[in-house]
Structure 1
């Protein structure tokens, strides 16, 4: 596919900042642009200039002689496709009396300028990202970088060349439009329909799936039962999704059927793909329909890192789907670049509430095309602080939209609020509700404040426990920096701290380094505590006990992703006495041993006594035989005393 071409609208001109334009008419052969050859000298010169002006950029890809020939052929092909498409566009414009655009498609990166502050940047060379590759959805500066981008992504151009006498141009098959007979409305697979109700109930029981709601769709067993377009099935296989996880088995068919969903499942259970696949299908429906230029889906998350991860997964699953573009709207990144992106017919918006509200105030985007809204980490998003922001956003969306709420923990108060924004929802629960992930071995240690650093050093010296990278959670930013310096100095391990005072670029770099094993220890505040797939992390240490048990569940869940086993060690002392009862209630049933200082604590005994008193008072609100007998006995005792 050629890069995007601009269109001049009659009367009013559509502002499309990054489009392919041609400066001169190709009707005049004397003015036809010459093909430029990619030589090794050009590559080296460009590399030297790039490194001198942008030293932070990594070394660019240096092609071999054979690769130069292949890349040159791709560039010439892309240039030809772009020009042919442009000529067709201009012919139509001339017939309609529209003005004709005149700016050349830049074939090579050396012809592109460097970006101004806030402008999009080419993902390969760092020059001005004037164009968007409609295959990878990446910003590129030229046809040369687009061809290299496709090569790195493993997408080679497959050109179906026809005989010269046919008069037809070759056609690229990188971006796949849906066939006219592709049905996107969810229909239950015949195999699933053939199962008896008893078999479905047994399947749910064996997988630990609990559902509540009217007319709940049956779970799928394989992705093929969803009836996805073939390109989406291929993307699933390429991304490593061989079979759906239990939460995906139930959540996907309910989401595809258009029902509102509240999904509560263990950390690392696959909830993200569980809502992304219905979102992509709904966006494809809108692409085929009349609203093919409207944004179809909105995904809200509490943290920037989680939003970045979700967009990465969405791009991976949407690769090759026609006009399936995403926009990432988060704080800490340049606002002009995000506004720039929103003008490119975006289908899916992934955003944090604060940045999205800032953009909505500028009236840059229209929300009337939104058909599905996802609120990830719903327990945080609907708490005080985020709650009003989320409600303000939802108030700007038409009433007819689907809502998907997901989290590892959904307290009763949040579930009550969710009832107000959902219509006849289906509840999907996996595992013990609001309980720690069963794949994580939990170790609770009683450690006084002055001894915490020493105990951490002992853990990092223990060969049985220490498996880098290790994530250590603390409760404040200064504490993260100080502990980072101490670990690096005493243990001589490659250590880094991450918290909200660091720039978004720094946080992104640290997160990528963690995922690629560049650090031995990462000291973090809560920014890494929710939703992130830290698949190579086997050990988490809660240096400071989290402020709530819900946060505890999320933080230890970083060590047990996608079914892998992990270990979470938590330091606790009398500073955390408010949570003693919750710790015993949630952790003890998992079989974890609790320190005697905790189980024998007078604070715990007092909390248990108060809890029993509450239960008795709650029971007395219901008139029972025992309750009546108790009243009679009390009355008799009071009479005898008189």
Structure 2
């Protein structure tokens, strides 16, 4: 997670936060850099859920100071409605007892008028998805001039092309001197570079191992060809040692989620449902609540449940389809092992994911997980490993050190004399 001390956005650039506001308020008393001129970036375990013990003690601290303002003072941006709902629920719990610390939830898929009405109630904390917030900004129905803190949750997703321009447009409307926090369990190099362009004098906070799943998650990688996937899933659901409902199954498409959920219920008799972005927001909300309450034994999902959510009742995740990247893999297996609990993540893999073989080996094998021989012996893996080692050697040879300085000078002199 990047926490810039006083993150200033460069204008016209082309280029588990559930309790982030409370953590910001609480942390100001412990970490002097939060009061200084700079921004912040935060990595893995900081985002692994909120606890009521983190609640500020009273109105005399930073929370009380923020409450005196009549305009919103904190903004949290998140990519999915489900995550926004969770953040608002936890923010309300953490702010209970603090005067005038109201929140508003601004997300698509729900009626706009009630959200606009809530905005007029002198709210202090806005939790929003980018699209809905931009619509409200364009209507002139919200003023962000009093924002002191901006938190961009799941920053690696929010700064990709799908959300990037929306986020930048929103940040154009907040004061230059507000503090911006970028938070994610995974921050790839490309996003780090972009963050470096956006943030002023950033501070980086890393907890746990960078870009790796929580150590409380047992990872199992199984080599399963596509025609055998359903049979293998049914075997897992019938295995008394592995099956601990509710089970969360990830697939790569909406139609696949619907069809697989129907097959699970028909073949196994387990109560199953599917969730994806094409379902109405109220239905998605009810399914998520049913998952948390244990109303479903199996939930088949696309990536809508893959990030940030504290699904504490889930002890088993199955990646029926291998995620498209290792970062997404980290997030999806991270739906278990929340808040210090243990869990199991089973992933089906085959040659359809061959471009990820070496990344899988690098990230999963060090955890002690046994990888399938088809993967370890794959020529694709060995070719990817060879290319990476070659690239590393080239990078090393380009470095100037005391050991190779004279060789570089001689080569330069020889080259110059031949011209």
**TM-score, structure 2 as length reference:** 0.86
C-alpha distance in structure 2 between counterparts of 1:539 and 1:569, whole Å: 8
C-alpha distance in structure 1 between counterparts of 2:400 and 2:62, whole Å: 51
C-alpha distance in structure 2 between counterparts of 1:425 and 1:274, whole Å: 28
C-alpha distance in structure 2 between counterparts of 1:276 and 1:422, whole Å: 28
Residue 88 of structure 1 is matched in structure 2 by: none
Decide whether the 8 Å contact of 1:544 with 1:572 is kept in 2: yes
Residue 508 of structure 1 is matched in structure 2 by: 285
Residue 564 of structure 1 is matched in structure 2 by: 341
Decide whether the 8 Å contact of 1:533 with 1:561 is kept in 2: yes
Mapping of residues 391-540 of structure 1, within 5 Å: 391-540=168-317
Residue 65 of structure 2 is matched in structure 1 by: 285
C-alpha distance in structure 1 between counterparts of 2:303 and 2:51, whole Å: 20
Residue 14 of structure 2 is matched in structure 1 by: none
Which of structures 1 and 2 has the bigger CA Rg? 1
Task: Indicate whether 1:622 and 2:410 are aligned.
Answer: no
Structure with the larger RCO, 1 or 2 (CA within 8 Å, 6+ apart) = 2
C-alpha displacement at 1:420, in angstroms?
2.8
Mapping of residues 39-438 of structure 1, within 5 Å: 253=31, 257=35, 260-266=39-45, 269-270=48-49, 282-288=62-68, 292-438=69-215
C-alpha displacement at 1:341, in angstroms?
1.2
Alpha-carbon spacing, 1:255–1:357, altered in 2? closer, same or farther (3 Å) = farther
| Per-residue deviation, residues 378-420 of structure 1 (Å, max 9, x unmatched) | 1111111111111110011111111122111111221222223
| Per-residue deviation, residues 35-67 of structure 1 (Å, max 9, x unmatched) | xxxxxxxxxxxxxxxxxxxxxxxxxxxxxxxxx
Name the SS for the 1:416 alignment partner: helix
C-alpha distance in structure 2 between counterparts of 1:252 and 1:385, whole Å: 36
Residue 107 of structure 1 is matched in structure 2 by: none
Alpha-carbon spacing, 1:373–1:623, altered in 2? closer, same or farther (3 Å) = closer
Decide whether the 8 Å contact of 1:484 with 1:495 is kept in 2: yes
Runs of 4+ in 1 over 4 A off after TM superposition: 210-214, 248-252, 271-278, 280-283, 623-633
Aligned length: 389
Decide whether the 8 Å contact of 2:52 with 2:94 is kept in 1: no
C-alpha distance in structure 2 between counterparts of 1:338 and 1:356, whole Å: 10
C-alpha displacement at 1:320, in angstroms?
2.8
Residue 46 of structure 1 is matched in structure 2 by: none
C-alpha displacement at 1:283, in angstroms?
4.9
| Per-residue deviation, residues 280-339 of structure 1 (Å, max 9, x unmatched) | 965531323xxx311111000010000000000011112232211111000100111111
C-alpha displacement at 1:254, in angstroms?
5.4
State the superposition RMSD in angstroms.
2.9
| Per-residue deviation, residues 532-561 of structure 1 (Å, max 9, x unmatched) | 000010000000000110100000000110
Decide whether the 8 Å contact of 1:378 with 1:410 is kept in 2: yes
Name the SS for the 1:497 alignment partner: strand
| Per-residue deviation, residues 589-633 of structure 1 (Å, max 9, x unmatched) | 111110000000011111111111111211221245469779999
